[in-house]
Chains A and B, each alone.
Chain A
Amino acid sequence: MKIKSLLIANRGEIAIRIIKTARKMGIRSYVIKTAKEPNAWYLEEADEIIDFSEDYDESIPEFLDIERIIKGAKKRKVDAIHPGYGFLAENPDFARRCEEENIIFVGPSHDAIYRMGHKTIAKELAREHGVPLLGGSPGAVRDAEEARKIANEIGYPVILKAAAGGGGRGMRVVSKEKDIERMFTLATNEASKAFNNPDVFLERFVREPRHIEFQILADKHGNVIHLGERECSVQRKHQKLLEESPSPALSSALRKKMGEAAVNIAKAVNYYSAGTVEFLLDSDNSFSFMEMNTRIQVEHPVTEMVTGIDLIEQMIRIAEGEKLAYTQKDIKLNGWAIEWRINAEDVQSGFSPSLGTIEKISWPEDEHVRVDTGVRDGSVITPYFDSMIAKLIVHAETREKALQQSSMAIRKFWIKGTKTTLAFCRAVLQNTNFRKGNFNTSFLSKELKIHYHAEPDEALLAAFFATYDYAREIQENEEKPLHTENGKIAPWVLKKRLR
């Protein structure tokens, strides 16, 4: 059935992104207002606001309150819900509740979410369908002792990963046997806090692999295609900092092989909607399946730029029941796209969050540049949500040109009010190996010596600016004339000034 109204259960840049496509398709958009950011930009872009800011329950964050969201959607007779990424996007209960209440969930089936959401089940499926895997624990590890046993068997280093979630949380690498107990505790604590599930599993840790993921698009009629890969190896503590498509490491033959494996995994759970299959690529070009993300991803724009396909639109069409408009043969990767994530983090202090208000923000308008952001002048970066300011996506004919365009765009991206990772982006662009395309997931820890880049003259200009401001302040304080009375005060006041 045709979707005429869509509730976006998300915020910030992805909410605005989805609204844009909804508007294009003539769909009425609804969003949720929270007390934490009552003046956010995304609220103004939508057609209607569902207000959760009054009398909220502090124990359940607004975007995780399944029942309240469903109630809000039903009350307004909304046709469909798009969960965006994060929050409830990979919560099988949410998808199931939508189905139960006859609200179209713009995403995969709750069963696919559930099965792919459990890393151990996903791995089992991969094994059954002949997709290559890493060695490790068959399922969740019971305790530190079991972890120690398996680790000693397969050999160090190993990595403990949360079974119920990702994004770097609940993950710990163990290089030595004596660390396994401490790391096990840290990983399970974090997993428990982040995903309400302390289960962790163990697998062989490949040092310095490349992180390659494939975008999947599938309809409800069994058609599954892939839209090429994204290279996401530049990461810090398992959080992606920049992504590009295609990857400098893939030949078309390798692309074909990995793409097929990705499609097979999706088919194994009868997948429909958009999804991403993640692989680790070793230096010998052998690859292993990591996990599947059953949602639209932050970095989807790079795929959109090189394929020319609006993924959000496709998700909506698929949810409506349409057949895929493309076959695998139709998918061509044109040119090169790079996405630079700009976060409110202080690179010089170890990427610590730099909360505050974005006083002013401005970026270059250029045909090669696309900026996805939920932030405008006056927006506040709060500790309640992520620290993303914007995604700067650059598209050009070749990688070389894309790097050049990136340099110029980053230089012209001006933000006043918080510290940002722009300095990090500049450091990456300066790095020879990155420019050549030679890098893997160890890039940040081993290759990039200093995580920010400053030209030598910049310190001089900064020093001048500080000195100039200081001198000016003193001048202002000293030279503004003071008008004193020198004894002339109205008698009335003088008369009774003392008691």
Chain B
Amino acid sequence: MDVKGRNFTRFLERQQAHSEQQDAKAASKQHAKGKLTAWERIDILFDEDTFEEVDAFVTADRSDTGFGKVKQTFGDGVIIGHGLIRGRLTFAYAQDFTVMGGSLGSVHAAKIMKIQDMALKMGAPMIGLIDSGGARIQEGVASLAGYAGIFYRNVQSSGVIPQISVILGPAAGGAVYSPSITDFVFMTDQTSYMFVTGPNVVKEVLNEDVSFNDLGGAGIHSKKSGVAHMVFPDEENTLMGVRQLLAYLPSNNMENSPEMELSPDETADVEEKLRDIVPDDPNKPYDVKDVINLLVDKRSFYEISENYAQNIVVGFGRMDGKVIGIVANQPKVLAGTLDINSSNKGARFIRFCDAFNIPLLILEDVPGFLPGIDQEHNGIIRHGAKMLYAFADSTVPRITVILRKSYGGAYCVMNSKNLGGDFNFAWPTAEIAVMGPEGAVAILYRKDLDASDDAVALKKELAAKYRNEIANPYVAEERGFIDEVIDPAVTRQKLIRAFEALETKHVDNPARKHGNIPL
């Protein structure tokens, strides 16, 4: 082929037209809002020089839709393609807010569906960088159908490949359903928001005044609704956070998560500090993250949904280089009780880990479920059952360590032996009972307490006796519900060995289309 000939010249002209489309003016408009352009985001997310764009020249339908012509642009406002993240094949789409406000038309949607199909075929993670004004009004139902197609593929891919949504701008109306189906939602503080109905409509219908940020900003979704799992102060940190998370996830549901070498200062030695964290006094709070950080490989704990339902802590960590999922009650928030939000947070995380072969470590210190009319009327029964179902239905290795309290139904829910726990350990501070000593004694010795002169002192005495004789972990140990009561200092060693032993675990659940998890 002649490089000066007609064919090659035409090819180069088209390349030129494409790059001219990304003009500096549009970019500075994006920057002025505190946002990055779609290409800048892709450059940060992917390893240097590994991204290959697909469908760069696809354009919208030329015909008049009846509501006006759609602007003809190469790419129709979204960049799709594949590249390497930490050397691993990953697919992504990045909506371009500078092109028709990143709005989704039928071609835009078709591109996204195309890359979703590819990701599913290749068994690699699918990342969505969302920055869109919503459905393209001119294209009417075609836009909506586009969304539906995307949602369908999100669901088809759910539990097959990891899907991460990164909200870097608006995501409104129907557009929010794709992220909510995906496994993890990342948001950037102050410049991203998600809601089903925007402030304008809220004002019209309910006459309530609310700003974008207050209705569906990063703060709201990370603290109140739990929709956002991770929030970062700016876009670069957000995208780096995605890269960090991917290092814990397998590329698809057939693989194991990648392993990482240990730091040179890593040991599996006896860690005496573990003995000092849980107080003997069952009412004194402590931070369970102190325990987590001493058990996992140094600095390997990646917490999910840190600001939501803080009475339960979930996240990924590494045990001797291999990824595990951690579910832990947090005694310093709501005394570590389980409630509606924490049950939901825990259940979803457990289901994700089970889908992707990530073993689970459960650190238990739970006095029960949060009592109250609010919890009962809002269905704590259903929601608590979710976590129970999630544990029982999972076939990944699951190890429980009871750190302190474990009362009543909560004992069952937190991966007890009979729920299928593979190894159940307990620390000497563990208290396992049908209910707390004070409550139990009030019922068992009601007549004696009523007849006594000093009921308060008697109750204290009986509670101490109950604590000593019934609530201690050795009763459970003797009956096999606890495999071993261990010295906190050797917990890390024990866990590393236990997880190693469980590496080849496989369990068959009865054949069925799928169970009916309470929702």
The answer to whether A and B touch in the complex, with CB atoms under 8 Å apart, is: yes
- Using CB atoms and an 8 Å cutoff, list the residues of chain A in contact with chain B: 35, 38-39, 55, 378, 473-474, 476-478, 480-485, 487, 489-490, 492-499
Q: Quick check: is B280 within 8 A (CB to CB) of the other chain?
A: yes
**Is the Cβ of A482 less than 8 Å from the Cβ of B504?**
no
Q: Quick check: is B506 within 8 A (CB to CB) of the other chain?
A: yes
A484-B255, A484-B258, A499-B511 are known contacts; what are 15 more A-B pairs with Cβ within 8 Å?
A: A38-B280, A55-B461, A476-B299, A477-B244, A480-B261, A482-B88, A482-B247, A484-B87, A484-B251, A485-B255, A485-B256, A489-B255, A492-B504, A494-B254, A496-B506
* Alpha-carbon gap, A489 to B255, bound state (A): 7
Interface membership of chain B positions 499-512, coded 1 if the CB is closer than 8 angstroms to chain A and 0 otherwise? 00001101011010
Q: Quick check: is B71 within 8 A (CB to CB) of the other chain?
A: no
Closest to A481 in B: B261
- Residues on B with beta carbons closer than 8 Å to the beta carbon of A474: 240
* Alpha-carbon gap, A494 to B263, bound state (A): 30
Within 8 A of A (CB), among B392-412: 395
Q: How far is the CB of B284 from chain A (nearest CB, A)?
A: 8
* Alpha-carbon gap, A474 to B464, bound state (A): 50
- Residues on B with beta carbons closer than 8 Å to the beta carbon of A492: 504, 506
Q: Quick check: is B253 within 8 A (CB to CB) of the other chain?
A: yes
Q: How far is the CB of A483 from chain B (nearest CB, A)?
A: 5
Interface membership of chain B positions 478-514, coded 1 if the CB is closer than 8 angstroms to chain A and 0 otherwise? 0000000000000000000000000110101101000
**Is the Cβ of B504 less than 8 Å from the Cβ of A496?**
no
* Alpha-carbon gap, A489 to B247, bound state (A): 18
Q: Quick check: is B103 within 8 A (CB to CB) of the other chain?
A: no
Q: Quick check: is B460 within 8 A (CB to CB) of the other chain?
A: yes
- Residues on A with beta carbons closer than 8 Å to the beta carbon of B86: 478, 482
Pick the 5 closest A-B CB pairs, nearest first.
A482-B258, A496-B506, A484-B258, A483-B259, A480-B260
**Is the Cβ of B255 less than 8 Å from the Cβ of A482?**
no
* Alpha-carbon gap, A487 to B256, bound state (A): 9
Interface residues on B, range: 20 to 34
**Is the Cβ of B504 less than 8 Å from the Cβ of A487?**
no
Q: How many residue pairs between the two chains, A and B, have CB atoms under 8 Å in the bound complex?
A: 67
Q: Quick check: is B95 within 8 A (CB to CB) of the other chain?
A: no
Chain A facing B: main interface SS: loop
Closest to B251 in A: A484
Q: Quick check: is B163 within 8 A (CB to CB) of the other chain?
A: no
- Using CB atoms and an 8 Å cutoff, list the residues of chain B in contact with chain A: 86-88, 240, 243-244, 247, 251, 253-256, 258-261, 263, 276, 280-281, 299, 357, 395, 460-461, 464, 503-504, 506, 508-509, 511
**Is the Cβ of B280 less than 8 Å from the Cβ of A499?**
no
* Alpha-carbon gap, A378 to B276, bound state (A): 10
**Is the Cβ of B88 less than 8 Å from the Cβ of A484?**
yes
- Residues on A with beta carbons closer than 8 Å to the beta carbon of B261: 480-481, 483
**Is the Cβ of B506 less than 8 Å from the Cβ of A497?**
yes
* Alpha-carbon gap, A333 to B276, bound state (A): 47
* Alpha-carbon gap, A478 to B239, bound state (A): 13
- Residues on A with beta carbons closer than 8 Å to the beta carbon of B259: 482-484
**Is the Cβ of B258 less than 8 Å from the Cβ of A499?**
no
Q: How far is the CB of B282 from chain A (nearest CB, A)?
A: 11
* Alpha-carbon gap, A48 to B498, bound state (A): 43
The residue that B254 contacts in the complex, of A39, A55, A477, A489, with Cβ under 8 A, is A489
**Is the Cβ of A487 less than 8 Å from the Cβ of B255?**
yes
* Alpha-carbon gap, A496 to B260, bound state (A): 25
**Is the Cβ of B464 less than 8 Å from the Cβ of A55?**
yes
- Residues on A with beta carbons closer than 8 Å to the beta carbon of B260: 480-483
Also in contact, A496 and B255, with CB within 8 A (given A55-B460, A477-B244): no
* Alpha-carbon gap, A498 to B159, bound state (A): 11
- Residues on B with beta carbons closer than 8 Å to the beta carbon of A496: 506, 508
- Residues on A with beta carbons closer than 8 Å to the beta carbon of B460: 55
* Alpha-carbon gap, A474 to B243, bound state (A): 11
* Alpha-carbon gap, A476 to B255, bound state (A): 24
* Alpha-carbon gap, A499 to B507, bound state (A): 9
Residue of A476, A483, A485, A495 most packed against chain B (CB within 10 A): A485
